Structure 1
Amino acid sequence: MHRILLLLFAVAISFPCLAQFPAEKPADEPYLDIGGALRFNYNLSTWKEDQLERGGDFGFDIFRINVEAAYKGIKLNAEYRHYAEGFGGGMLKQGWFQYDFSEASQIQVGLNQVPFGIQQYNSNNWFFNMTYYIGFEDDHDMGIKYIRDTGRWKWQAAYYKSAEDLVFSSAEPSPDRYSYDITGRNKENNQFDFKLVRRLDDSLAHELGFSLQGGLLYNLDTEENGTRYAGAVHYEYKSATSPWNIKLQAMLYRINPEYAAGNDLNFVEMGAYGANYNVANKGEIYTAGVAYNIPLETRLLQSVSVYNNYGYYNKRVSGFENSHMNVLGALWTAGPMYIYTDAAFGYNQPWLGPEWTSAFTTGTEGDTDWHMRFNINFGYYF
């Protein structure tokens, strides 16, 4: 009997402690946030006679899933996208593990954004700017990146073993990817990037920076590495208290593949969204963008942002005709919906004209004309 009394006494003493334990929040509580988007697209292209007869096309653009997670100091960020099969089908846009050393510094490992030029985007519209189509805007590669941001100064240093490699063999890189990379008989490897940004005033609204990139290019035929490098200077004005956003950037790049003897081409293949095209081995790209945000107090719309983005591609190869791109449009915000209405004009731009393969090299045979694609993208983000 005394053993039973002792047991009841022990339980009575320990019960308050047991009751209080759930009220204490664990120090390393798991975190998980899942979101995504569904988008549809309408477009009307002036160079497509059959589409003009139909009055344009309206169809599926993308379904995507975004995941952010954290546990015991280790974070995860991933985005998986599914496009129509003709645009590459399913693909991982980004995905990395992250550790924060402090509020000012972090490290990312995996498929993360290459620190080069204005970020996150060197554009305001749905089409991006010229830099995206040559592989220098919102590019994601496989590697490790360190970020240090102290307010007035921000710098990033990264090493990338490869681009979005989908096949671990000597096969040609697949163009079924989100961001443009060198494909065909060459493979990007061992790339280094460094980016430095100085914020010029106490409001941190004016950002002046420069970016450097260098790497190797493995040729599948010669089994030798060529070289590639790029540099950029850039300025952006963005402020939470101002409706204006201004983006200015100038960059150059050089690509030196190790082609087989007698096959020294002055271009490389690049690919994304399920298809390749040719790009000049060297050139400069100049871009400028301006946007103005107008708040609205209506039942449906909360704001509209009007913008214009221009890009000029100067190819440094004899006989190659230069390229232009200009997008005039507006972004309409309606709760979880974002609607881009763009008039995109292209001159020797593969996505904005009838010539695909050689638009970024020799250009269209004969007289080149400006072409226009009117585009409306409806996106619901959750």
Structure 2
Amino acid sequence: MVPSQAAMAAEEEGFTIGGALRYNIYSKSWENNPDATQFTWDTWRLNVDGTKGGIDLSFEYRFYPDSDAHFIHHGYFGYQLDEDLYGKLGVFQKPFGITTYASHSWWFQTPYYVGLEDDYDMGVGLDYTPTEDLELQLAYFRQAEPNGSLNGDNDIASRYSYDVVATDDADLKELNTINARVAYQLTPCWEVGASAQVGQLYNSELDDSETAYAFAGHLEGNMGNWNIKTEFVNYDYNAKDNDGNKLTAVPMGAYGSTYHVAAEANMYVAGVAYSVPVEFGPVTNLQFYVDYTYTQKLEAGMNDTQQLVPGVLVTAGPVYTYVDVAMGKNHPWIGGDWDTGLTEGAEDDWETRFNVNFGYYF
């Protein structure tokens, strides 16, 4: 989750090439076999950022050797239309909620796992900053980001961020999504904002679309070494299956795998972090944090999902290490309920994944 060190050259023409190499060590509480604890090659990625002739370029492509998957993260052209207005074209982050992340940990918060945090799609966008205190963003996304490759084959679920995808029972895809976001600096340290997202979930078998929407309100602040993130999200992935029945759960895919999520939910997000400057060899900062999300599913009979991640980010030059104790209840990535965790769930106990992610960013 640490951004590339290859920053875009805003005033001088030229390009910088960067990337990252990351490894994971993890242990899962819900497995009792040799695979429960592993040391894996998480990611390597390539970044290109720069400007030529007044037109900016930002591009990132990712490879996940452990799953033999690779796909675009983002890739767009940008142009400063005037002093206050900036335009984008390509694959870029949807302006929704707290950007770039509503989280501090390597795990994101639960909105990421339903396509509402750090989500990237293909479209055009405008960023308008009429004053230092106010930012307005408007974007139109024709469709989700391009499919990547999984085990050498094109795969609809091989992508970085979660999107609604097609299954045998529901031949769905996202189309014509409009995002709007406003953020205002109450003080130099506190930002308040609101976001809206409206789009189509098109069923090619029915040749018909339903309207899906999401709304968010957020507050983020910095007080000395403290950072606080809070967010409320309401969404309704209104969609029908191939027989014309309204879905109570929709299929979503990323990283080469698909699961279902509740079609309607409220999400309550909170995170707090405290940074401690240190001088210990190459280590210059320790950021301690706790992130939490409560997902209230609005379909009767579904058990709610919770995610709690205490941890610390260790900064040592270009190396960023996340040490997380990720705890989840009815969570596909933290427990054994892969396809049901974010839908009906169960009255299960909490599960835990201890995870250490080492990343060298250049």
The one-character-per-residue Cα deviations of 1:122-181 (angstroms, maximum 9, x if unpaired) are: 0000000011001000000000110012211011000000011339xxxx9700000000
Matching residue of 1:33: 16
Matches within 5 A, 1:1-382: 30-51=13-34, 56-84=37-65, 86=67, 89-149=69-129, 150-166=131-147, 174-184=156-166, 185-201=171-187, 204-238=188-222, 242-261=224-243, 263-364=245-346, 367-382=347-362
Structure with the largest fraction of helix: 1
Is contact 1:192-1:213 (8 Å) kept?
yes
Distance in 2 (alpha carbons) for counterparts of 1:29 and 1:339:
32
Distance in 1 (alpha carbons) for counterparts of 2:71 and 2:21:
15
For 2:32, the aligned partner's letter is E
Is contact 2:155-2:256 (8 Å) kept?
no
The one-character-per-residue Cα deviations of 1:197-253 (angstroms, maximum 9, x if unpaired) are: 11012xx210001001100111022111111001111000137xx211100000101
User: How far apart are residue 280 of structure 1 and its match?
Assistant: 1.0
Distance in 2 (alpha carbons) for counterparts of 1:55 and 1:270:
25
User: How far apart are residue 259 of structure 1 and its match?
Assistant: 2.8
Larger Rg: 1
**Could you tell which deviates more after superposition, 99-108 or 114-123?**
99-108
User: How far apart are residue 318 of structure 1 and its match?
Assistant: 1.1
Is contact 2:240-2:247 (8 Å) kept?
no
The two structures have a TM-score, normalised by structure 1, of 0.86
Structure with the largest fraction of strand: 2
Structure 2 alignment gaps of length 5 or more = 1-10, 149-153
Distance in 2 (alpha carbons) for counterparts of 1:333 and 1:258:
47
Pair 1:222–1:284, CA change in 2 (3 A): same
For 1:215, the aligned partner's letter is G
User: How far apart are residue 85 of structure 1 and its match?
Assistant: 5.5
The two structures have a TM-score, normalised by structure 2, of 0.91
Pair 1:221–1:244, CA change in 2 (3 A): same
Is contact 1:173-1:187 (8 Å) kept?
no
Q: State the aligned residue count.
A: 342
**Could you tell which deviates more after superposition, 218-227 or 110-119?**
218-227
Secondary structure of 1:128 counterpart: coil
Distance in 1 (alpha carbons) for counterparts of 2:69 and 2:155:
16
Is contact 1:81-1:92 (8 Å) kept?
yes
Distance in 2 (alpha carbons) for counterparts of 1:99 and 1:197:
21
Secondary structure of 1:304 counterpart: strand
